[in-house]
Chain A
Amino acid sequence: MHDMAVEARAVEARAVTKIFGSDDSAEVTALDDVTVSIRENEFFTLLGPSGCGKTTLLRLIAGFDHPTRGEIRLHGEDISHLPPYQRRVNTVFQSYALFPHMTVAENIAFGPEMLGQPRAEVARTVDEMLGLVRMEEFSARRPEQISGGQQQRVALARALAAHPRVLLLDEPLSALDLKLRKEMQIELKRLQHETGITFVFVTHDQEEALTMSDRIAVMNAGRILQIGAPREIYDHPAERFVANFIGESNLLRGELGVVTSATGTVTLSSGVTLSASVPDGAVRAGAGRTSGQTSGQTSSQTLVNVAIRPEHVQLAASPDAGTLSGRVENVVYFGTDTLYHLRLVTGEPFTVRMQNTRDGSPDARIGDTVGVSIRAGVAQVLQD
């Protein structure tokens, strides 16, 4: 059955909407027309703030809930209405949900036993999994007798022991302290690499998402806003929400000029003209929902938001040398770098992040008037 599935995506959600609550007074649209397709062997992350519908999407894939509209496909097969035990998908729960009355080994053995594996094979799987998550010494303990990080590893081993084709992980690291979380991030990447299983990982931590994922889907309010590789999403955020949720961004208003193949000129309110990346659909959105227009042929009176990362720009050598200029309102020292909070002549706030050098004196002081140099291609036009 494997060869058949190679062509298909591991998981697909097609126009999935999930509405909770039947009486219309208390209706919650947890997912709103979500379409996403997750590749085989991919480390795919759902990233978004709390309450944006990440868990709901995961539960639909696992089968604990069923979509109100749309369908969920697993390796090409529509599984929208199959119960959890008919899907080769396993979940690492946010709360771990380890069986408190069973030992670590019994917890791990549960899946293989339910799958009807012979006893010897179950024992072999358990040993293998204990080794994989380095918990051999703790096999006879109960969940309450091991630490949170260890419970987390057992939850992982238990899910993997059932040999899923897709592993769902719902904020598995959120309960761990920072140091342990960093360790587990590396551990998880290693496990995904070793097992070759498709991981669908949920987090609200943008840094975690950036460091671990092959691809990220950024969610907000029940919708997927952007899907892409970490670098793509960071460098080319499509929407204001993405630009702000992942890293920091300076947002400036401007007028979109001529657009040719994903690059365009933007005239900022200060009168300065920049060249900026333009995502598909940005022009349409910027034009105020007038349909029928496509990028390439656009009127020149389109107001847009432009995002510029603080670390992608530099303070210019002299106040007049840069593209923009402003007054320094605050200087924050971070060790590796320094943040300069400026107020531009247009009144807009703007932040510049400069890397610190060993012998360098500060580039500017509070009250100074400074210039900001912006290289071509650094500015990003947003869809809204």
Chain B
Amino acid sequence: MSAPPSGPAPAASSSGLDPGRAARLAGEVARRDIRTRWMLSLPAIAIVTAAAAGPLLIVLVYSFLTPGPYGNVEWRFSPDAWINVVLQKDIFDDTWQWADAHLRIFWRSLELSFLTTALTLVLGVPTAWFIATRNERTRVVWLFLITIPFWTNLLIRTIAVMELIRNEGVINSALIGLGLIEQPIQMMFTDFAIALGMTYVYLPLMVLPVYASIEKLDFRLVEAGYDLYASRRKMFLRIILPLVKPGIIAGSILVFIPSLGAYVTPRVLGGGKNLMLGNLIELQFGQGRNWPLGAALAITLMAMVMVALLYYVHVTGRGRRWHG
């Protein structure tokens, strides 16, 4: 590293600089360059610190405090909130037990999020494939249609689903009208309702990244596969799937993360009893008046999201190279 490259040496000697000095100068230029970059990214760093790290820190600190009697916190250290995430004291004999209610909600959240991800995959991948294989003009129209729901408020979209599935809703009325059923089918306030609602709401988040990776797919590779005697099944498994995988993983993450933290959809479609993590957290800051527990639950949720994201980074870190 200390020896100057042979290229610039003649130029340096002709201008009267010795090679060592030239190397030092080059180092100085590099240092200045780095300093300029730091200066340029300072505003971004400031915003990230103030808007993301700051509030997060407050939440973290609150999770180690004592709940106040009417909400808020008392500035006394207490690990109780963290213990209460998974354990609870028996009201009668003061022994520690698993916090079944919390664990059930954790489990339901995970289950519903996985279910939602799976449903959006099943619906989204063929949709993305369909769009990506249309001609350019038609593609734009389909993509536009896919993004339209984004323009509408989440609450309104959820209530639209409710209109479809409630006992007096479109589906039940139609089925009763046709004489296929006599009693309305109970769909509202079930896990099914929540999964349906989330699938509907998050489907575009699956379609768009999958579409992007299918669109990038070099169809000459598909021809090469057929040329080498691949069957349709083998073609999909050996060539298309590995190349589209980054998009599928991105879509899955994009659906899974908001599903895990979903609040509006389970609240509207799940009623009061089918809580998800988001609702549980909200409960602690509202009726529960246990802000530290709410904070601890929020951080737990965030940790789960982080795991999913790390997995994503790990997988796409390898995948990105293929697309150059």
Q: What's the minimum C-beta distance from B241 to chain A, rounded to whole angstroms?
A: 10
A-contact 0/1 string along B307-324, CB 8 Å cutoff = 000000000000001111
Asked if residues B230 and A85 are in contact (CB atoms below 8 Å), the reply is: yes
Asked if residues A114 and B242 are in contact (CB atoms below 8 Å), the reply is: no
Cα–Cα, bound, A39→B231 (Å): 30
Cα–Cα, bound, A144→B228 (Å): 21
User: Chain A interface secondary structure, helix, strand, loop or mixed?
Assistant: mixed
Pick from B147-155, B177-185, B216-224 the stretch touching chain A.
B216-224
Asked if residues A64 and B223 are in contact (CB atoms below 8 Å), the reply is: yes
Q: Does B299 contact A (CB under 8 A)?
A: no
Which residue from B229, B231, B323 sits with its C-beta under 8 Å from A111?
B229
Q: Does A265 contact B (CB under 8 A)?
A: no
B interface residues, tally (CB under 8 Å):
21
Q: What's the minimum C-beta distance from A109 to chain B, rounded to whole angstroms?
A: 10
For A115, list chain B residues within 8 Å (CB): 229
For B73, list chain A residues within 8 Å (CB): none
For B231, list chain A residues within 8 Å (CB): 85, 114
Q: Which residue of B lies closest to A145 (CB)?
A: B321
Q: Does B226 contact A (CB under 8 A)?
A: yes
Q: Does A241 contact B (CB under 8 A)?
A: no
Cα–Cα, bound, A162→B230 (Å): 11
Q: Does A91 contact B (CB under 8 A)?
A: yes
Asked if residues A84 and B226 are in contact (CB atoms below 8 Å), the reply is: yes
Q: Which residue of A lies closest to B245 (CB)?
A: A101
Q: What's the minimum C-beta distance from A32 to chain B, rounded to whole angstroms?
A: 24
Q: Does B94 contact A (CB under 8 A)?
A: no
Cα–Cα, bound, A115→B227 (Å): 11
* Chain B stretch 178-219: residues in CB contact (< 8 A) with chain A: 218
Asked if residues B227 and A84 are in contact (CB atoms below 8 Å), the reply is: yes
Which residue from A91, A95, A144 sits with its C-beta under 8 Å from B227?
A91
Q: Which residue of B lies closest to A62 (CB)?
A: B227
Cα–Cα, bound, A95→B223 (Å): 12
Cα–Cα, bound, A378→B220 (Å): 47
Cα–Cα, bound, A98→B323 (Å): 13
Q: Which residue of A lies closest to B238 (CB)?
A: A110
Given the known A-B contacts A95-B220, A110-B238, are A101 and B230 also in contact in the complex, defined by CB atoms under 8 Å? no
Which residue from A97, A101, A159 sits with its C-beta under 8 Å from B243?
A101
Which residue from B224, B226, B321 sits with its C-beta under 8 Å from A99?
B224
B-contact 0/1 string along A93-119, CB 8 Å cutoff = 101011111000000001100110000
Cα–Cα, bound, A91→B229 (Å): 12
Q: Does B239 contact A (CB under 8 A)?
A: yes
Which residue from B218, B221, B227, B230 sits with its C-beta under 8 Å from A90?
B227
Q: Which residue of A lies closest to B322 (CB)?
A: A100
Q: A91-B224, A100-B221, A144-B324 are in contact. List 4 more A-B contacts (CB 8 A).
A: A64-B223, A84-B223, A100-B322, A114-B228
A: residues with CB less than 8 A from B are 62-64, 83-85, 89-91, 93, 95, 97-101, 110-111, 114-115, 144, 158-159, 162
